[in-house]
Amino acid sequence: MKLNVDERWNLIEKISKKTVTFGKYQHTLKDAVGELTVKPLTGIPIAVAILYGFWSIFGSFAGTLCTDGFFVKIFDGHFLPFMQKVFTGLPKWLYYIFVGDPLADNCFEAFGVLTSGLFLAIGVVLPAIFIFYLMLALLEDIGYMPRLAVLIDTVLHKIGLHGYAIVPTILGLGCNVPAVTATRILETRKQRFIAMTIMAIFIPCGAQLGIMEEVIPDTIGLVLLYLITGYFIFGFILNKMLPGRSPEILIDVPPYQMPTRRNVVRKLRMRITSFFKVAIPFVLLGCALVNVLYLAGVIEWLGNVLAPVFIGWFGVPKETVGPLIAAFLRKDLAVAQLSAIEMTKYQMIMAVVLVSIYFPCVATFAMMLREGWRELLGALATLVVTVFLYGGLMHLIGIVLGVA
């Protein structure tokens, strides 16, 4: 028997009446909170409050409680004197590489592989990475991240992305390596390129944020303002220059739920394990490489050659060449090295921003290469132009304000 369209719908309705039972919907408190966090009028203040709480816990736990309250006392009071005593009989060059400056009274300024290298990795970066990923795992498990994506969708469309690009961006604040991989959730090649490029340039990793909190606590806000501004300016430019489309967001917003310990612990273990495998070896290698280059006179030679660019265009001392070389291995190590260079407050801000927007660290570099060599070359070309344009613009702002 052949039915027309109306007869089919009538048959469907009869079947559904006999098989489907409709209950009364009850609007719960969880539903009300979900609606409040996704509507711009109430969602934006809530997002600001959550991010402020995120940053406050990050700084208090990682910097004040763990680093200053525990690790500084252990490393400076016991570990550094022990290492200086153990390595006393070594040749000066070997002592300099592994222990660092013999006159240093703290691990932060020694810059030896086994002193500053271990202190930065374990005493500064590890607590920062731990608390960052713990809070991120909680927000993911609760169900807040999809709501944040919906909330910021309109803003990110201005730079050719949509709201779900906030996920790799926030991941980048922990580590750019998984963040580059996370850009695969974006639909088009244009979106993935824009997200990967501006994230590699303007988003500092959790390790770098931890060192910045230690080195420049009073001016870290201004550094982040420069980076966020550059993120949107160059994202907007890339969106206008690159062909391709930026589709609308299509995302499932799940109900809020209590985080489960198993999920949180699993995510935390996976991300912390990755840090131990990737970050710590590169921090130690970076310390060794930079110390060898200092001993060989390479850093001083490069500083003299590049002095006109660094002093004239960027407005920073030529000694920043050393940290920029270290930045290719680990940017957190580079920021730590900047603290040993005599600079004005604005020069330090400039130098930290330059380290941030300079070439991505080698682990991120390798991950970008896995996404395609064309994308990598395009991102690097964009990076070079960005460093010179944005660095020069920042120097000009400093001159106009009379602080450069």
Provide DSSP, 297-308: THHHHHHHHHHI
Is residue 25 predicted with pLDDT exceeding 70?
A: no
Percentage of residues of the chain with pLDDT beyond 70 = 97
**Average pLDDT for residues 303-307, to the nearest whole number?**
86
Percentage of residues of the chain with pLDDT beyond 90 = 18
Q: Under a CB-based contact definition with an 8 Å cutoff, are residues 7 and 120 in contact?
A: no
Torsion over CA: 369, 314, 317, 350 (sign):
negative
Nearest-angstrom CA–CA distance, 123 and 210: 10
Confidence of residue 34 (pLDDT cuts 50, 70, 90): confident
pLDDT of residue 167: 83
Is residue 256 predicted with pLDDT exceeding 90?
A: no
Is residue 45 predicted with pLDDT exceeding 80?
A: yes
By C-alpha distance, which of 291, 297, 287 is closest to 329?
Answer: 287
Q: Which residue's structure tokens are 């003299």?
A: 304
Nearest-angstrom CA–CA distance, 397 and 402: 8
pLDDT of residue 229: 93
pLDDT of residue 80: 92
Please tell me whether residue 111 adopts helix, strand or coil conformation: strand
State the Rg of the chain over Cα.
25
Nearest-angstrom CA–CA distance, 117 and 281: 9
Is residue 230 predicted with pLDDT exceeding 90?
A: yes
pLDDT in tens, 98-126: 998 888 888 877 888 899 888 888 888 78
pLDDT in tens, 159-215: 988 888 888 888 888 777 778 878 888 888 889 889 988 988 899 888 788 888 888
The domain spans of the chain are 32-246+277-401
Predicted TM-score (pTM) of this structure: 0.79
pLDDT of residue 348: 92
